[in-house]
C-alpha cells in the first residue's frame, strides 16, 4: 500500500488535516489505534478561538458548532473572595471564544470524514515509522502486521504517540516543564455556576468552573500530583470552599466523569525530520490553564495543509518555524496563567501576595487586561 500523506492519530489534529488534504485533492490515509467510541468520548478541553471556529466552518464542520457552541465575551477572575470580569471582546476590539467540547469537534470531524473522506482505520496501531526520507509506517490492523509507504508522514498521535520516538536520538530537542500539581476534572449534570468561566485563585488552591452546555458543568480543582479521584461529596465540598462566595455557589448534580490530569509543558524542536512532520500534542503540550491545546493543534495542521496544498517546498520547509513561533507564545501565556493562579506546594505567603498583586494589576490596568485578553482569544 502507498499513499501521499500517512497520518498517524485521529484526534482533532489528524482528523482536521485529513479533511484539509481531502478538500485539496491530496491522497491520504489515517491510522488510529483506538476504536471510534473511545475517540469520541475522550474528555478534553472545550475552548475554541475565533480562528479555530473559522476553520471548522470553512471545512463544513460548523453547523452543530453554530447551533450548540456558546460564544463567550468575557471570563471571571476570582481572587480575594471576589469576582472580577475580564471583558475579552472589549479589550481585543471584538474577539471572543466559543465553548464547544473537543469531543463534539471530534464527533463532527469523524462524521464528515466517514461520509466522503479518505480511508480512516480505527484499531490500527502504529509501532514505528522507518526511513524518514521515504517514510514507511509499520502498524497492526485486525491482528495483521502491515506497512504503508508514504511520501510524507504526519505524527498527529498525541503526547504518548510513537512517531516522535521514531526520530533518531539527537535529531530533536525536547524542552519540558513538569508542574508540582495536577487538575482533578469532573463533568456534572448541573447548570454552570456562572454564565462565564470562573478562574479562581484561593488559599486552598486553584479552581475552574467551566461548562459544556446550559445544563452541564465542567469543573476542575488543583490537587497534589498522584491524587486519586475523590468521592463526589468531597469534590463538591471543596468546590464550595474554593468557588463559593455570595456571588458564586456551585450548583450540584450527578457527576458523570472524573479524572486527574497532570500539568505539563513540552515542546519538541524542530517539528520536521526528513519527510516526517509532527503536529498537535505530538509536538507540544501546554498546561490547560490557557485553554490553548486544541487551538494550537488546529493552527499546526492548517499551516501544514496549506503547505501541502500549495505544493511549495518553501512552505513545507517553513512549517516548523512558523508553528514554533505560535507554540512558544502559547507556552509563555499558558505558563503565566498557571503560575498566576496555582499555589505551589509549600509556597510562601510572599509568593501568594505577589500573585494577588499580579491579579489586581490584570483586572485594574487596561494594558495588562489587553495582554491577557489578546493571548486568551488567540493572536490570529
Ligand atoms: N497508533 C495510532 N494512533 C495513535 C497512536 C499509535 N501508536 N498513539 C496515539 N494514537 C492516537 C490516539 O489514540 C489519539 O486518538 O493519536 C490520537 C492523538 O489525539 P490527541 O491526543 O487528541 O492529540 P491531537 O489531535 O494533537 O489534539 C490535541 O488534544 O490533548 C488534547 O488539549 C489537547 O486539545 C488538544 C488536543
Ligand atoms: C474546559 O472547559 O475544559 C476548559 C476551559 C478553560 C480552560 C481549560 C479547560 O482553561
**Pairing verdict, β 276-278 and 144-155:** parallel
Q: Are residues 45 and 21 in the same domain?
A: yes
Q: Are residues 218 and 308 in the same domain?
A: no
* Cβ–ligand 1 contact at 369 (below 6 Å): no
Candidates 189, 186, 342, 337; CA nearest to 260 is 186
- Its pTM stands at 0.96
* Cβ–ligand 2 contact at 330 (below 6 Å): no
CB 303 within 8 A of CB 272: no
CB 110 within 8 A of CB 93: no
Q: Are residues 49 and 114 in the same domain?
A: yes
- Name the DSSP letter for residue 92: T
In the residue annotation, 38 being an active-site residue is answered as no
Candidates 73, 74, 57; CA nearest to 65 is 57
Q: How far apart are CA 380 and CA 378, in angstroms?
A: 6
* Cβ–ligand 1 contact at 49 (below 6 Å): no
- Name the DSSP letter for residue 158: -
228 Cα: distance to centroid of ligand 1 (angstroms): 23
Question: 3-class SS at 131?
Answer: coil
What is the domain extent for residue 203? 178-262+344-377
Give the residue, by CA position, lying nearest to ligand 2 atom 9.
45
Question: 3-class SS at 85?
Answer: strand
Instruction: Answer whether residue 255 is part of any domain.
Output: yes
54 Cα: distance to centroid of ligand 1 (angstroms): 22
At 352, which CATH number? Answer: 3.30.9.10
Say which residue the cell 479552581 belongs to: 207
Tell me the best of 47, 70, 285, 338 to mutate to test the pocket of ligand 2, counting ligand atoms within 8 Å of each CB and taking the most.
Answer: 47
Residue 306 in this model has a pLDDT that exceeds 80:
yes
Q: Is 301 exposed, middle or buried (0-12, 13-18, 19+ CB in 10 A)?
A: buried
Residue 26 in this model has a pLDDT that exceeds 80:
yes
Q: What's the pLDDT at 267? A: 98
pLDDT band (50, 70, 90) for residue 249: low
Q: Are residues 110 and 158 in the same domain?
A: yes
Average pLDDT over residues 314-323: 98
Instruction: Answer whether residue 77 is part of any domain.
Output: no
Candidates 59, 55, 57; CA nearest to 23 is 59
Tell me the best of 9, 218, 285 to mutate to test the pocket of ligand 1, counting ligand atoms within 8 Å of each CB and taking the most.
Answer: 9
Task: Encode 256-279 in three state secondary structure.
Answer: EEEEEEEEEEEEEECCEECCEEEC
Q: What cell was used for 268?
A: 519538541
C-alpha pair distances (Å), 67 with each of 70, 71, 101: 9, 11, 13
Instruction: Answer whether residue 31 is part of any domain.
Output: yes
In the residue annotation, 288 being an active-site residue is answered as yes
Q: Are residues 21 and 114 in the same domain?
A: yes
Question: 3-class SS at 84?
Answer: strand
Q: What's the pLDDT at 169? A: 85
pLDDT tens for 32-86 read: 999 999 999 988 888 999 999 999 999 999 999 999 999 999 999 999 989 999 9
Residue 210 in this model has a pLDDT that exceeds 70:
yes
Instruction: Answer whether residue 147 is part of any domain.
Output: yes
Number of domains present in the structure of the chain? 2
Which-ligand-closest: CA of 185?
2
Q: Are residues 65 and 156 in the same domain?
A: yes
Residue 246 in this model has a pLDDT that exceeds 60:
no
Instruction: Answer whether residue 83 is part of any domain.
Output: no
> Cα angle at 85 between 79 and 91, to 5 degrees?
130
CB 218 within 8 A of CB 186: yes
272 Cα: distance to centroid of ligand 1 (angstroms): 18
Amino acid at each position: 500500500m502507498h499513499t501521499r500523506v500517512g497520518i498517524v492519530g485521529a484526534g482533532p489534529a489528524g482528523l482536521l488535516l485529513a479533511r484539509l488534504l481531502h478538500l485539496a485533492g491530496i491522497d491520504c490515509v489515517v491510522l488510529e489505534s483506538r476504536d471510534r467510541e473511545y475517540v469520541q468520548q475522550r474528555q478534553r478541553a472545550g475552548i475554541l478561538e475565533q480562528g479555530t471556529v473559522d476553520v471548522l466552518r470553512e471545512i463544513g464542520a460548523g453547523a452543530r458548532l453554530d447551533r450548540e457552541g456558546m460564544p463567550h465575551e468575557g471570563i471571571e477572575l476570582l481572587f480575594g473572595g471576589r469576582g472580577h470580569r475580564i471583558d475579552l471582546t472589549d479589550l481585543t476590539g471584538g474577539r471572543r471564544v466559543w465553548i464547544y467540547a473537543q469531543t463534539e469537534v471530534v464527533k463532527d470531524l469523524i462524521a464528515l470524514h466517514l461520509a466522503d473522506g479518505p480511508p480512516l482505520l480505527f484499531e490500527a496501531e502504529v509501532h514505528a515509522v522507518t526511513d524518514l526520507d521515504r517514510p514507511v509506517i509499520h502498524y497492526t490492523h485486525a491482528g495483521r502486521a502491515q506497512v504503508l509507504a508514504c511520501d510524507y508522514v504526519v505524527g498527529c498521535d498525541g503526547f504518548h504517540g510513537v512517531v516522535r520516538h521514531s526520530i533518531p536520538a539527537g535529531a530533536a530537542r525536547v524542552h519540558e516543564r513538569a508542574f508540582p500539581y495536577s487538575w482533578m476534572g469532573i463533568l456534572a449534570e448541573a447548570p454552570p455556576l456562572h454564565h462565564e468561566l470562573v478562574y479562581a485563585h484561593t488559599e486552598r488552591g486553584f479552581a475552574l468552573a467551566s461548562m459544556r452546555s446550559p445544563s452541564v458543568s465542567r469543573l476542575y480543582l488543583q490537587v497534589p500530583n498522584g491524587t486519586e479521584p475523590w468521592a463526589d461529596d468531597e469534590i463538591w465540598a471543596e468546590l464550595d470552599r474554593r468557588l463559593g462566595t455570595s456571588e458564586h455557589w456551585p450548583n450540584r448534580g450527578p457527576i458523570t466523569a472524573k479524572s486527574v490530569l497532570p500539568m505539563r509543558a513540552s515542546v519538541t524542536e524542530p517539528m520536521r525530520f526528513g519527510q516526517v512532520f509532527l503536529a498537535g500534542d505530538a509536538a507540544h503540550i501546554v498546561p490547560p490553564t490557557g485553554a490553548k491545546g486544541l487551538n494550537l493543534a488546529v493552527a499546526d495542521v492548517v499551516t501544514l495543509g496549506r503547505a501541502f496544498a500549495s505544493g511549495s517546498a518553501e512552505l513545507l520547509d517553513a512549517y516548523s518555524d512558523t508553528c514554533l513561533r505560535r507554540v512558544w507564545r502559547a507556552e509563555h501565556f499558558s505558563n503565566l496563567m498557571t503560575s498566576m493562579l496555582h499555589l505551589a506546594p509549600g509556597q510562601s505567603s510572599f509568593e501568594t501576595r505577589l500573585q494577588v498583586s499580579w491579579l489586581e494589576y490584570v483586572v485594574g490596568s487596561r494594558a495588562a487586561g489587553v495582554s491577557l485578553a489578546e493571548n486568551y482569544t488567540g493572536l490570529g
